[in-house]
Amino acid sequence: MPTASRRKDTPPPRTANSEADVLRGFLDYLRVSIAAKVDGAAEPQVRTSAVPSGTNLLGLLNHLIAVESATFLGEKVTDWQATLRPDPEDSVSDLVTRYRETVARANEVLDECTDLGAPLPRPGRPGPAPSVRWALTHMIEETGRHAGHADILRELIDGGTGR
């Protein structure tokens, strides 16, 4: 009987039991996963789509930067489709760094939010803001969905698998 191999994936986070800790723990887990999936991917494959929709690995990360910025930092996005196309001068390293910096800024905002039912502070954005709970749940869904896309695209690029 073959020896069981060690799991190469990073398992889901073990968090404290509060709702905020669980939501933030899973969001951070997904954030780390997608950054790692893009980090080190080769040019030009990281920009090349292997699917009819045109989705590419670098575009996914660029899009998530925009979603994090809009959701937690109050930045306005006027063309969501454009966020899926990174600038030609942006390198993998540039976008991974920008994503991690955006996540750090978003976490600073979240650190000040003690009530998940309260509106998310979004300076500069008119109209009612979603609750912190809604924003966290939305970002888990959005990041998880695109992390799944990134898993497939990275495997097509160089065979890389795992979280």
pTM: 0.90
Q: Is 63 exposed, middle or buried (0-12, 13-18, 19+ CB in 10 A)?
A: buried
Q: Rounded to an integer, what is the distance from CA 23 to the centroid of its chain?
A: 14
Element (H, E) at 150: helix 132-158
**What digits encode the pLDDT tens for the residues 42-92?**
999 999 998 898 899 999 999 999 999 999 998 999 999 999 999 999 999
**What digits encode the pLDDT tens for the residues 121-160?**
877 777 788 999 999 999 999 999 999 999 999 999 988 8
DSSP helix/strand/coil, 118: coil
Q: Cβ neighbours of residue 12 under 8 Å, at least 6 residues apart?
A: 26, 29
